[in-house]
């Protein structure tokens, strides 16, 4: 099979297209014929060598969609459409940047859909992240106000749409004035230009602060986001678009406003919402959700796709179709 192998830590050109044997299936695993996969920011960090547990060479890709090629357990019939996500995929064992992947049954999600593969490929990680952050961590409710920090990211754009379908008022941010229009077209009630310090601007719109904040930039803007919430408001840090994992100085009694709440969301195999995936795919098929797919690449364009993601020019999800 063809696989895009990250040969060592480095720039996008360390990913090489190679002929590899099809992965072997262990007991309790299935073989998926991959049709498409979404590209994720964490894969840039891994490629750069910032994921200490990932050894190279490695076929990356933390998610994929495709069809069951072989399932010795008999759980799924051949050609069943499935998604696979996280659980070590593309990190502990070879992942989605290939024509086939062997994965444990626990991370397989069956679905039915006639949507094109590049659309399906955009869904699994993006949906789980947004749904887990908004419903699981922030517990959003109709009538609330939601600030999305890093609003033009694919996660931010989808979060805005899901929040609007639930009846929230959404304020979404970008650093780029030219992208404000895209935030509005995507459904945001307010688009704010983010220079890293927006709490004064935000409080001029919502003097008591907002109910919820989805923080996708991370450490760089987290303290400012905490200043944007009302008492008992919640900030959920889900992303690290700013690129930093660790905050040098954090003084909880100063940095978290009284009664304010800070949480995080991380997709992992244990908190995946299997039943909601089909519901979401159907909502996309019915046109209730617009996925904002920015560009679809081919497998042998994977280095180009990584460069494009790093350029921050995309206004939505980047997908690779096999």
- Chain residues binding ligand NAP by CB under 6 A are 40-42, 125, 129, 150, 152-155, 174-176, 179, 216-217, 238-243, 265-267, 309, 312, 314
Minimal distance in Å, beta carbon 180 to ligand NAP? Answer: 9
Please give the residue whose beta carbon sits closest to ligand NAP in the complex. 239
3-state secondary structure the chain: CEEEEECCCCCHHHEEEEECCCCCCCCCEEEEEEEEEECCHHHHHHHHCCCCCCCCCEECCCEEEEEEEECCCCCCCCCCEEEEECCCECCCECCCCECEEEEEHHHEEECCCCCCHHHHHCCHHHHHHHHHHHHHHCCCCCCCEEEEECCCCHHHHHHHHHHHHCCCEEEEEECCHHHHHHHHHCCCCEEEECCCCCHHHHHHHCCCCEEEEEECCCHHHHHHHHCCEEEEEEEEECCCCCCCCCCCCCCHHHHCCCCCEEEECCCCHHHCCHHHHHHHHHHHHCCCCCCCEEEEEEHHHHHHHHHHHHHCCCCCEEEEEC
Minimal distance in Å, beta carbon 302 to ligand NAP? Answer: 15
Minimal distance in Å, beta carbon 221 to ligand NAP? Answer: 7
Give the relative orientation of helices 274-285 and 124-131 as an angle to the nearest 10 degrees: 110
Nearer to ligand NAP, 259 or 266 (CB): 266
The CA R_g of the chain, rounded to the nearest whole Å, is: 20
Nearer to ligand NAP, 175 or 261 (CB): 175
Nearer to ligand NAP, 69 or 294 (CB): 294
Minimal distance in Å, beta carbon 292 to ligand NAP? Answer: 9
Minimal distance in Å, beta carbon 194 to ligand NAP? Answer: 6
Minimal distance in Å, beta carbon 153 to ligand NAP? Answer: 3
Minimal distance in Å, beta carbon 313 to ligand NAP? Answer: 7
Count the residues in the chain. Answer: 322
CA distance 202 to 197: 10
Minimal distance in Å, beta carbon 40 to ligand NAP? Answer: 5
Nearer to ligand NAP, 117 or 127 (CB): 127
Nearer to ligand NAP, 32 or 216 (CB): 216
Of 29, 21, 30, 34, give the one whose Cα is nearest residue 61. Answer: 34
Nearer to ligand NAP, 33 or 238 (CB): 238
User: Looking up tokens 């992965």, which residue turns up?
Assistant: 23
Nearer to ligand NAP, 167 or 243 (CB): 243
Nearer to ligand NAP, 129 or 296 (CB): 129
């Amino acid at each position: 099979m063809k696989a895009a192998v990250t040969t060592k830590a480095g720039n996008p050109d360390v990913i090489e297209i190679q002929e590899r044997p099809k992965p072997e299936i262990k007991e309790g695993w299935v073989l998926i014929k991959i049709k498409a996969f979404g590209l994720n920011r964490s894969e840039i960090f891994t490629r750069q060598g910032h994921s200490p547990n990932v050894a190279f060479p490695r076929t990356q890709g933390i998610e994929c969609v495709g069809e069951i090629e072989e399932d010795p357990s008999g759980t799924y019939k051949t050609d069943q459409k499935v998604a696979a996500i996280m659980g070590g995929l593309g990190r502990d064992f070879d992942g989605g940047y290939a024509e086939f992947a062997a994965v444990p049954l626990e991370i397989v999600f069956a679905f039915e859909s006639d949507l094109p593969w590049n659309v399906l490929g955009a869904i699994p990680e993006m949906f789980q992240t947004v749904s887990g952050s908004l419903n699981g961590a922030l517990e959003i409710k109709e009538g609330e106000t939601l600030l999305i920090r890093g609003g033009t990211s694919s996660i931010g754009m989808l979060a805005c749409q899901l929040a609007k379908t639930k009846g929230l008022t959404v304020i979404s941010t970008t650093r780029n004035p030219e992208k404000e229009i895209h935030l509005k077209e995507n459904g945001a009630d307010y688009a704010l230009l983010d220079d890293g310090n927006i709490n004064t601007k935000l409080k001029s719109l919502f003097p008591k602060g907002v109910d919820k904040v989805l923080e996708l930039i991370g450490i760089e803007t987290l303290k400012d986001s905490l200043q944007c919430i009302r008492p008992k408001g919640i900030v959920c840090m889900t992303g690290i678009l700013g690129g930093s994992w660790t905050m040098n100085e954090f003084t909880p009694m100063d940095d978290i406003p009284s009664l304010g709440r800070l949480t995080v969301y991380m997709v992992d195999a244990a908190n995946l919402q299997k039943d909601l995936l089909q519901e979401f795919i159907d909502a996309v098929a019915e046109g209730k959700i617009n996925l904002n797919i920015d560009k679809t690449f081919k497998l042998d364009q994977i280095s180009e796709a990584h460069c494009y993601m790093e350029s921050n020019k995309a206004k939505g999800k980047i997908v690779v179709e096999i």
